[in-house]
Amino acid sequence: MLKKVAILGGGVAGLSAAHELIVRGYHVSVYEFKGIPGGKARSMPYVGSGKGGRRDLPGEHGFRLFPRFYRHVIDTLKRIPYENKTVYDNLMEVTRLDIATHTAPLQPLPAKIVVNKDNIVLAKELINHKLGLTKEDLEQYGRKLWQVMTSCEERIREEYETIDWWDFIEAEKQSPAFQSIFAGFTKTLVACQSKVASTQTVGPVAAQMTLNLSLPGKSFVRLLNGPTNDKWIYPWLTYLQERGVDYHLNAKVERIHCVDGVITSAEVTENGETSHIEADYYIAAFPVEVMGPLITESMLEADPSLQGVQRLVDSVAWMNGIQYYLREDVPVTHGHVIYLDAPWSLTSVSQKQFWPDVNLSEYGDGSVKGVLSIDISDWDAPGILYGKSATHCTPEEIKEEVWAQLKQSLNVNGAIILRDETLHSWFLDSDIQYDEGAQACTNEALLFINRVGTWEDRPEAYTRIPNLFLASDYVRTNTNLATMEGANEAARRAVNALLKQDESKETPCEIWDMYKFEMGNIDVLKAFRQQDKKRYDRGLPWNGKILNTKD
C-alpha cells in the first residue's frame, strides 16, 4: 500500500517535494492557500484587464531570474516536459546588467562576457570612474571576495555568520560609490540592508555572481521566455497531476495537530468546508511567517528546537513587484537595470524582449506593446513625490512614485527613455493588501532574511517529530538564500529525510554543494580552504595563503 504524504503549501518548495515523492512511488496531496498555484513564484493576472475575449494582462510578483550558480531548481526544470522539450528550454540568457543613477546616463555592464571592442571599452569606463569607483575601491572589494573564496566552510559558517556584510567589507572606510554599489546591492539582492545581512549569506553569493559575470561566453543570469505560470508552473502542475499528485487550491491550513509527539492530522479549510487531513507523513512547505504561528505547545514538547522557527518569524522583509504596461515597447536594456540612487531600491526588466512568442495583442485591450516589470526592495524609505514610505502609500501613489523614480534615473542628461504618454496601465502585486481604515498596507508574501546570528535558529529539514518535515527557504541549506533555489533544495532535503525515516530503498534526491568556484571540474581553491581550515582549527585568523607560514 502506498504511503500517503500531505504537503502543506504549494509554492516552489511544495511542488518540488511533490515532484520528488511522486516519482518515488508515494501518494501525494498538496494544499495551497492561494487560488493560483506556485506561491511567491506564481504569475498573477491583472484581473479585469482582458477585453473582447482577450486574456487578462500578465502580472508577476516581480520577475523570475535564474542565476548561473543555481543547480537544484535547474535540475528540476530539466525534468518537466514542455511541448517537445522541457521547461529548462524556456530559459533565455540576458546580456546586460546595467546601473542607473541620477547623475549619469545608463551605465551598461556586460552580463555575458564576449571579448570585443565594445566590452573592452565598457570595462575601461568602469575602471575609469564612470560609477565613481576608485582603483582602491576595486582592490578592496577584490580582497574581500578573495577572503570569502579562500575561507574554509567552518569559518564562513561560524565566524562570518556573526559579521554583517557592511563591516566585513569595511564599507565605513571606503568611498561613497563603494558603499552604494558593493554594500548597497544587498537590498536589491535579498531586500535587506548590508548592516543586517549575514556575511555567511552575502559573501559566497557575491563571490559566485562576480565569478559568473567574468565567465566568458555565458550569461550570469537567465529569464523565462514568457509569464511564469505559462512557461513553468502550469506545465509542472500538469505533469505532476498526470503522475497522480492531488493538488488543492484555496485550501488554508488552519492547524496542525500533534498528539504524543506525532502529527495526527492537519485541519484544512477548502471552499468554506473544514476537514482533517490524515497522512503517514507531513511536509510543511510554508514560509516562515506562516509556519511560526502554526507551531503548537505539543509540537514544542516533542521538538523544542522549533522555538527557533518562531523566533525567525520577524526575520522578513518586503520585495514585491509592480508592472507597467506600455503602448510602445521600451527595451531599456537586454537584462536587468539596478536603480542605484532610487530610494525604494528598484530593479527592472523590460519583459517583452524575453517573451518572443508572447503576442501581447491577445491580452488586455489588445493595445499593449511592452511590459516593464519592477521589484521594489525598500518599502520603508521616503519617496521623492510624497515623502512617504511605500507601506504608507496608496496603490496609485506607489504607481506614481515608482514611475517618477524610474524617470529620474533613466531620463538623465537629455535622454528621454520613459515618457508619460507611453504608459497604458499598471498592476501592483496582489499580495500587497489594503484593509479599510488601516494606516499602512500589509504584505501576504514576505521574504525571509538571513540576519546576522540567525543560523542557530534555522532548522534542518527533519524534526524530532518523526512524521513531520520542513521544506522552505528558512531551512538550513547549502544555498543559504531566500530564493526558489533554496526552496527547491530544502524540499529535496525534506524528501531525503522522509525516505530515511520510511526506510525506503528509493534513491535519495541529489543535493549539490554551492559556491565551490570550480574551473571545469576542478576545485581550483580547495588547497587554500584546506590551509585555512588548519588555521581555523588552531584559532588563527584567515590570511589567504596556500602554504604554512609562521604566525
Domain assignment of residue 269, yes or no: yes
Same domain, 487 and 525: no
> What DSSP element (H or E) covers 85?
strand 85-86
Count structural domains, the chain: 2
Taking the CB of residue 454, how many other CB atoms lie within 10 A of it?
A: 19
* 210 shares a domain with 278: no
Q: Tell me the backbone φ, ψ of residue 426, rounded to 5 degrees.
A: -150, 160
Do residue 457 and residue 309 come from a single domain?
Answer: yes
Q: Is residue 407 part of a domain?
A: no
Pair (295, 254) in one structural domain: yes
339: Cβ contacts below 8 Å, ≥ 6 apart: 100, 345, 346, 347, 348, 405, 406, 409
268 with 307, same domain: the answer is yes
| Rounded CA separation 439/425 (Å) | 26
In a 13 Å sphere around the CA of 20, the CA atoms on its Cβ side amount to 30
200 domain-assigned = yes
**Angle at Cα 445 formed by Cα 444 and Cα 449, nearest 5°?**
130
Q: Indicate whether 483 belongs to any domain.
A: yes
* Domain-embedded: residue 380: no
- Specify whether 127 is located in the same domain as 189: yes
Between CA 313 and CA 444 the distance in angstroms is: 13
Residues 468 and 520 in one domain: no
Q: State whether 179 and 273 are in the same domain.
A: no
Alpha carbon of residue 434 to chain centroid: 24
pTM, to two decimals: 0.94
* Structural domain that includes position 282: 4-33+250-314+453-501
Residues 484 and 528 placed together within one structural domain of the fold: no
CA atoms within 13 A on the CB side of 503: 0
d(CA 413, CA 416): 9
Distance CA 306, CA 309 (A): 5
Looking at the structure, do residues 153 and 177 belong to the same domain, yes or no? Answer: yes
Name residue, grid cell 541620477. 102
Per-residue pLDDT of the chain (551 residues; tens, 9 = 90+): 789 999 999 999 999 999 999 999 999 999 999 999 999 999 999 999 999 999 999 999 888 899 988 999 999 999 999 999 999 999 999 988 899 999 888 888 766 555 444 544 445 555 444 678 888 998 999 999 999 999 999 999 999 999 999 999 999 999 998 998 888 878 776 667 889 999 999 999 888 888 777 666 677 899 999 999 999 999 999 999 999 999 999 999 999 999 999 999 999 999 899 999 999 999 999 999 999 999 999 999 999 999 999 999 999 999 999 999 999 999 999 999 999 999 999 999 999 999 999 999 999 999 999 999 999 999 999 999 999 999 999 999 999 999 999 999 999 988 999 999 999 999 999 999 999 888 899 999 999 999 999 999 999 999 999 999 999 999 999 999 899 999 999 999 999 999 999 999 999 999 998 776 665 566 778 899 999 999 999 999 999 887 665 55
Q: Are residues 157 and 203 in the same domain?
A: yes
What CATH number is attached to the domain comprising 484?
3.50.50.60
- 192, 288: one domain: no
Flag whether 239 is in a domain: no
Half-sphere exposure (CA, 13 Å, Cβ side) for 336?
24
**Does 342 reside within a domain?**
no
Instruction: Give whole-number Cα distances, 438 to 269, 316, 328, 394, in Å.
Output: 27, 21, 37, 11
The neighbour count for residue 457, using CB atoms within 10 Å, is 17
User: Is 101 contained in some domain?
Assistant: no
Q: Cα separations (Å) of 67 from 57, 63, 64, 337? A: 26, 13, 10, 15
- Which residues, 6+ apart, have CB-to-CB distance to 307 below 8 Å? 300
